[in-house]
Chain A
Amino acid sequence: MRTLRGIGASRGVAIGPAFRFREVDLNFDRRTVENPEHEWERLEDALEEARRQLIALQGKAGRSAGDQEAALFGAHAEMLEDPELLNVVRESVSEDRLNAEAAFSDAIESYARALESLESEYMRARAADVRDVGQRVLRILLDHRQSPTEDLKHPSIILARDLTPSDTMLLDRSLVLGFCTAEGGATSHTAILARGLGLPAIVGAGRDVLTISDGETLVLDGTAGTVLVAPDDETIAEYEQRRERTAGALKSAREKAREPAVTRDGRQVEVVANIGNVKEARDAIEAGAEGVGLLRTEFLYLERDRLPSEEEQYEAYRAVTDVFGNLPVVLRTLDIGGDKQLPYLDLSHEMNPFLGVRAIRLCLARPSLFRPQLRAALRAGAGRNLKIMFPMVAEVSEIREARGMLEECRAELMEEGRTVADGVQVGIMVEVPAAALMARHLAAEVDFFSIGTNDLTQYTMAADRTNAGVASLVSGFQPAVLRLVRDTIAAAHDQGKWVGLCGELGGEPLAIPILLGLDLDEFSMAPSAIPLAKQIIRQLSLDETKRVAQEALGLDSAQAVRELIRDRVPAADAR
């Protein structure tokens, strides 16, 4: 038995055969042809086939993955018909008598290079699109009609170097038990897809992943971030038991999901959801969410080619709040930059994007980007329980400036005779260590805090959360992070302000006793984590968790904190 380690990107255990997602070899010979007309016909057939594939993908994406992915395939189809591209290719075939493969890939490569030379993020993405189109046509010309997943016939664990949106569209999702990739971080496409599907996944497990043979039995533990290759029967039985136990606990938790989360000694906390669109809003209600602790708004901006209008945003926010009625919904303003880029904004290339002009910094620097969002939020909040939250605040002046802009937008809207929300609560994400350390001053300026432990951890530990090499440092259980959480909550409570937490840590079973013991008011997490979190809270008592939390904060490592909780609070051990 071999054990590989990576980043646990999506929780749960999968047991089953390995399936390698193969990239096709696209090497070809360069040659002159006898009959250019015939060669051109061959190319036209391939282009026609590529167009059919793209239209089919566009339709499929529209049904299952969303309009943005569909638009991407539409843009690829448009490139296939580009008259200048086809002119260049036609010339090399008819004049230079080049074979179709060489003629087409030369033309693609020259356009890709021309676009890359313009040196913007946007143009690099378009260059990648051009090459993607080129590979599709080459695959057809070389008669690799077989898709990389054609042999996937039985439920399997998918192994790959990394998966692109194009790749994952090819997978029959009913045959996927889990994912394990050699590259990629916790925010890679594979990781996000797996969490969305509720399937276990490990990313960044290294090149050894690609040495596993097809059909080999694997145990993939997305919670621990380990893959066991060819485990013995005893190990498999152990994991199967664990999987059943977890499934059983989850089933009973789901039955009670809509009941409140009250501790044994009568303390009720709010359990709410992190969501990013209307579909997730419905899932959240289904899972027992008592509102939304984090409404990500990036979905309106990502994977498209222009800014959403105020009206589009208004409609989208309204659609989400409609699902929740009077329950609270905390809208986070645009958090872009870092690992999330918007090609059409043409953001300047930064050496350290996580430390650069991202989130509130970008929004304050570009009022034309920020104001339509603030206006849309104020309008959508009318008659609803909508709260507004600013991400990445590091100092007091940023809140004052953002609040100032919000008030200007409100005045403007009233002057235009629009209905706007009044008495909207305004809060900030506490995710920069400086904000946690200065929480006392910041609390005076806001109505609430929401602690973003993902970024707070990476900034406190100085460890990039997308880099597999430092994954062991990036844990919310680090005592340094927990101490900042404690101080943030205490500072807010001293001034009568409430505190939520919306990082991954909030839905982490082992973290729940600590956070409860630190007096957290609101737990926000992925909808799928809600039933279990509520169930765990119901089994705890506030008194007991206060003592455990105190003890945990005195320990010297993340590992020791986890062990303490496992040992002292078995109810939170959801392995």
Chain B
Amino acid sequence: MPETILTVHHEVGLHARPASLLVQTAKKFDADIQVCYGGRRANAKSILNVLSLGAEQGAEIAICANGVQADEALEALKRLVESNFEVQE
């Protein structure tokens, strides 16, 4: 299963707008997408799950995807996180 490891640089961490953008991006793809942080796993399409991870600024998160559009999804999420949540698809 393709996986990528990313650092959240945004000052609010993976909360608020960054969390919401991540979920919106994930929802666009036909794939099961998981975000892992601190030994916990969250469905990337669930805002409640993503918020519950409590990933702060500087957190290293792992994203993995499975399904028809897994590669495209990972690519898009990587761009989003690496652009500090500025670049949206």
Residues of A at the B interface (CB closer than 8 Å) are 75, 78-79, 82-85, 111, 114-115, 118, 122-123, 126, 130, 305-307, 343-346, 368
By a CB distance below 8 angstroms, the chain A residues around B4 are none
B11 at the interface (CB under 8 A from A): yes
What is the minimal beta-carbon distance from B88 to any residue of chain A, in angstroms? 14
Report the Cα distance A373→B51, complex, angstroms: 29
Task: Report which residue of A75, A83, A115, A122 has the largest number of chain B beta carbons within 10 angstroms of its beta carbon.
Answer: A83
B1 at the interface (CB under 8 A from A): no
Contact B46 A306, beta carbon cutoff 8 Å: no
Contact A306 B48, beta carbon cutoff 8 Å: no
By a CB distance below 8 angstroms, the chain B residues around A126 are 51
What is the minimal beta-carbon distance from A163 to any residue of chain B, in angstroms? 26
By a CB distance below 8 angstroms, the chain A residues around B16 are 122, 305-306, 343-344
Residue of B nearest to A305 (CB): B16
Number of A-B contacts (CB under 8 A): 55
Contact B20 A78, beta carbon cutoff 8 Å: yes
Q: 14 A-B Cβ contacts within 8 A?
A: A75-B20, A78-B20, A82-B47, A83-B45, A84-B46, A114-B52, A115-B51, A115-B52, A122-B15, A123-B15, A130-B48, A305-B12, A306-B17, A344-B17
Contact of A306 with B12 at beta-carbon distance under 8 Å, contacts A79-B47, A84-B46 already known: yes
Contact B15 A344, beta carbon cutoff 8 Å: yes
Residues of B at the A interface (CB closer than 8 Å) are 11-13, 15-17, 20, 23, 43, 45-49, 51-52, 54, 56
Contact of A346 with B12 at beta-carbon distance under 8 Å, contacts A83-B45, A305-B17 already known: yes
By a CB distance below 8 angstroms, the chain B residues around A130 are 48
Task: Report which residue of A75, A346, A368 has the largest number of chain B beta carbons within 10 angstroms of its beta carbon.
Answer: A346
Candidates A79, A85, A123, A307; contact of B54 at CB < 8 Å? A123
Residue of A nearest to B24 (CB): A78
Candidates A75, A83, A122; contact of B46 at CB < 8 Å? A83
By a CB distance below 8 angstroms, the chain A residues around B54 are 118, 123
What is the minimal beta-carbon distance from A386 to any residue of chain B, in angstroms? 28
Residue of B nearest to A127 (CB): B51
By a CB distance below 8 angstroms, the chain A residues around B45 are 83
By a CB distance below 8 angstroms, the chain B residues around A343 are 16
Report the Cα distance A85→B49, complex, angstroms: 9
What is the minimal beta-carbon distance from A72 to any residue of chain B, in angstroms? 12
What is the minimal beta-carbon distance from A561 to any residue of chain B, in angstroms? 47
Candidates A83, A111, A344, A346; contact of B52 at CB < 8 Å? A111
By a CB distance below 8 angstroms, the chain A residues around B49 are 82, 84
Residue of B nearest to A130 (CB): B48
> Knowing that A306-B12, A344-B15 are A-B contacts, what are 9 other residue pairs whose CB atoms are under 8 Å apart, sorted by A's residue number?
A78-B20, A79-B47, A82-B48, A83-B46, A122-B12, A123-B54, A305-B15, A305-B20, A368-B11
What is the minimal beta-carbon distance from B43 to any residue of chain A, in angstroms? 5
Contact B17 A79, beta carbon cutoff 8 Å: no
Report the Cα distance A126→B43, complex, angstroms: 18
Report the Cα distance A562→B56, complex, angstroms: 53
Candidates A79, A345, A346, A368; contact of B48 at CB < 8 Å? A79
Contact B48 A85, beta carbon cutoff 8 Å: yes
What is the minimal beta-carbon distance from A342 to any residue of chain B, in angstroms? 10
What is the minimal beta-carbon distance from A25 to any residue of chain B, in angstroms? 27
By a CB distance below 8 angstroms, the chain B residues around A344 are 12, 15-17
Report the Cα distance A118→B38, complex, angstroms: 13
Report the Cα distance A122→B43, complex, angstroms: 21
Contact B51 A123, beta carbon cutoff 8 Å: yes
Across the A-B interface, the 10 shortest Cβ-Cβ residue pairs? A305-B16, A84-B46, A306-B17, A118-B54, A344-B12, A344-B16, A305-B17, A114-B52, A84-B49, A111-B48
Candidates B12, B15, B23, B46; contact of A85 at CB < 8 Å? B46
By a CB distance below 8 angstroms, the chain A residues around B23 are 78
What is the minimal beta-carbon distance from A282 to any residue of chain B, in angstroms? 30
By a CB distance below 8 angstroms, the chain B residues around A85 are 46, 48
